[in-house]
Amino acid sequence: MRSGRLAILDEHGRRQKVHPAEVSGPWHRRVFALRALLIAVFVAAPLARVHGRPLLLLEIGARRFWVLGQSFNAQDAPFAFLVLSAIGFSLIVVASTLGRVWCGWACPQTVWLEGVIRPIERFFEGSALQRTRLAAAPWTLSKAARVGGKHVVMASVAMLVAHWVVSFFVPAEELFALWRGSDSAPQGVVPVLAFLFALFYGDFAWFREQTCLVLCPYGRLQGALQDRSTLLIGYDVARGEPRGKASAAGAGDCVECKRCIAVCPTGIDIRDGLQMECVGCTACIDACDDVMLKLARRKGLIHYASEESLAGGKTRYIRPRTVAYAVAAVAGLVVVALFVRRYEPFEANVLRAGGVPYAIDGATLRAPIAVHLVNKQPEATVVHVIAPSPTDGVSIQVPSPDVALAPFEGRTIPVMIQLERSRWSPGFRVHIRAHDDRSGHDRLLDIEVLGPHPRAP
C-alpha cells in the first residue's frame, strides 16, 4: 500500500514529472472517438448558425445571450441559473453512479491534455522511455530543437484554444477584425486573450495532472458523491493476488509487469485500491487487458467495477442518493423546458414614472406610469400598447401606442391612468396588453394603481 502522499511527489515533496506510456485498445478507441467529437463540437459551436443566428454566443458586455439560435437578455438571467443548476445536478448524478467518467472521458482538461498535448509531445520527444531519457539528458542542439519544437506547437494550440474560448463571448468576426487591425475591433479582449493563453500554455506545458489532483473542485467532491456501489475503475484483488511470474505456482493473474502504472497519466498504481488521483481515463484497463491477452488469460483484471462488487458483493444501481440526485436533475431540466416554452421574444414591464405616483384633481385621480419595452430579437419590430376602452369611469391613455423598436432596442413610453376618485380603493388594478407584431405574442400587464390613504381627506 502507498503512503498518504500523492504518487507524483517524491519523499521530499518534489514533483516527479509523469511520462505516461502510449496505450491502445478498445477503451482507448472509445475515449479517443469521444474526445475527437468533443473537440469538433468545441470548434464548431461558436461558428455555427441557426437560421443565421449564433448557436451559442454569450455577449456579456451587451447583456445579450444566444442559445441554440434563440436570443436572451439580462431579464432572462434566471434561465442561466436554471441551466447551470441542471448541468450541476446532472454531473452529480453521473459522479454518484459512474464515478469519474466525466473526468476521464469528457472534461476539457483531460480532452486537451491527453487527446492533443500528449500526442504532440510523443511526436517531438518519442515514447515514454525516450522522453524520460531526454528529460535527464544534458542540453544539446538536438534536445533544444525537439523540446523547443514541442513548446512552439503547444503554445500555438494554447493560443488557438484561447481564441476559441473568447469566441464564445465575442463574435468570431470581431476577433478576426482584431487581427486585421481594424479600428472597430474590441481591444478589451486582448488582455483576456493574453490571460487565457498564459493559463492554457502553463497548464499544457507544466501544471498538467496537478489540475485534477489539487485544483479541480469536482475532483475534490468525488469522495462525498460516491459510495460503495459507484462504478469506478478497479483492480480485482481476489483474482490478481498473490502477484508473481506467469509461471509461478499458486500466483494470481497479476504478473507484476507494472504496465498499468506505466500508462497512468497521474502516475498511480491502481492495485493499491481506489484512489482520489484516479481520473478514470481507462488507460490501465487496456494496458492490463493487453498483458492478459498475451498470456492467454481472461481480460478484466482491471475493469469497471464498484467497491461492493470488487469485495464480492452486488452493485446496487438504484440507491436513495442516486434517486435523489436524479430527481433533482430531472426537476431542473423540466423547469428549464418550461422556461424555454414560456420564452417571450419581447419584454414589457411597468415602471413607476418619476415624481408623484398619483395626483388628485377634484373628483379625479390620475396615476402616471411608464411601460418599458425591449425587443429581444435581432430583427426590427413594432409593439402595440393596447389599453382597454374607457369604462366605469376608468380610462387609460397611451399617447404613443405603436412603438417601433430596432433589433435589441429598449424604449419607455408614458401611460396615464385616470379614474373617478370614488372608484379607487387600495389594490385597485387595471390591465394593458402589449402585442408584438413580429412574433404575434401578447403580454398582459397587471398594474396596481396607487392612490391616497383611505383616510386621507
Interface positions with ligand SF4 (CB under 6 A): 233, 235, 240, 254-260, 263-266, 268, 270-271, 278-284, 287-288, 291, 301-302
| Sign of the torsion angle spanned by Cα atoms 318, 321, 324, 326 | negative
Least distance in angstroms from the C-beta of 188 to ligand SF4: 39
Of 297 and 423, CB closest to ligand SF4: 297
Of 285 and 367, CB closest to ligand SF4: 285
Of 27 and 346, CB closest to ligand SF4: 27
Least distance in angstroms from the C-beta of 263 to ligand SF4: 6
Least distance in angstroms from the C-beta of 86 to ligand SF4: 28
What are the backbone angles phi and psi of residue 214, rounded to the nearest 5°?
Answer: -125, -20
Least distance in angstroms from the C-beta of 243 to ligand SF4: 7
Of 253 and 347, CB closest to ligand SF4: 253
Rg (CA), the chain: 31
Answer yes or no: are the C-beta atoms of 407 and 380 closer than 8 Å.
yes
Of 21 and 177, CB closest to ligand SF4: 21
Of 16 and 75, CB closest to ligand SF4: 16
Of 258 and 352, CB closest to ligand SF4: 258
Answer yes or no: are the C-beta atoms of 449 and 430 closer than 8 Å.
yes
Burial environment of residue 323 by CB neighbours within 10 A (0 to 12, 13 to 18, 19 or more): exposed
Q: How far is CA 239 from the centre of its chain?
A: 40
- What residue has cell string 515514447? 127
Q: What is the dihedral of CA 114, 115, 117, 123, to 10 degrees?
A: 110
Burial environment of residue 294 by CB neighbours within 10 A (0 to 12, 13 to 18, 19 or more): exposed
Least distance in angstroms from the C-beta of 129 to ligand SF4: 17
Least distance in angstroms from the C-beta of 278 to ligand SF4: 3
Of 264 and 373, CB closest to ligand SF4: 264
Rounded Cα distance, 271 and 286, in Å: 15
Rounded Cα distance, 415 and 432, in Å: 10
Instruction: Return the SS3 of 190.
Output: helix
Which H or E element spans position 154? helix 141-166
* CA 356 to each of CA 146, 349, 436: distance values in angstroms, whole numbers, following the listed order: 76, 19, 30
Of 254 and 387, CB closest to ligand SF4: 254
Least distance in angstroms from the C-beta of 104 to ligand SF4: 6
Least distance in angstroms from the C-beta of 118 to ligand SF4: 13
Rounded Cα distance, 451 and 367, in Å: 8
Residue-wise burial string across 422-453, b where 16 or more C-beta atoms lie within 10 A, e elsewhere: eebeeebebebebbbeebeeebebebebbbee
Q: Identity (one letter) of the amino acid at 6?
A: L
* CA 436 to each of CA 92, 271, 375: distance values in angstroms, whole numbers, following the listed order: 41, 65, 9
Of 100 and 376, CB closest to ligand SF4: 100
* CA 143 to each of CA 21, 130, 138: distance values in angstroms, whole numbers, following the listed order: 20, 11, 8
Least distance in angstroms from the C-beta of 261 to ligand SF4: 7
Least distance in angstroms from the C-beta of 96 to ligand SF4: 18
* Pick from 352, 110, 67: nearest CA to 219: 110
Rounded Cα distance, 40 and 37, in Å: 5
Least distance in angstroms from the C-beta of 325 to ligand SF4: 23
Of 86 and 301, CB closest to ligand SF4: 301
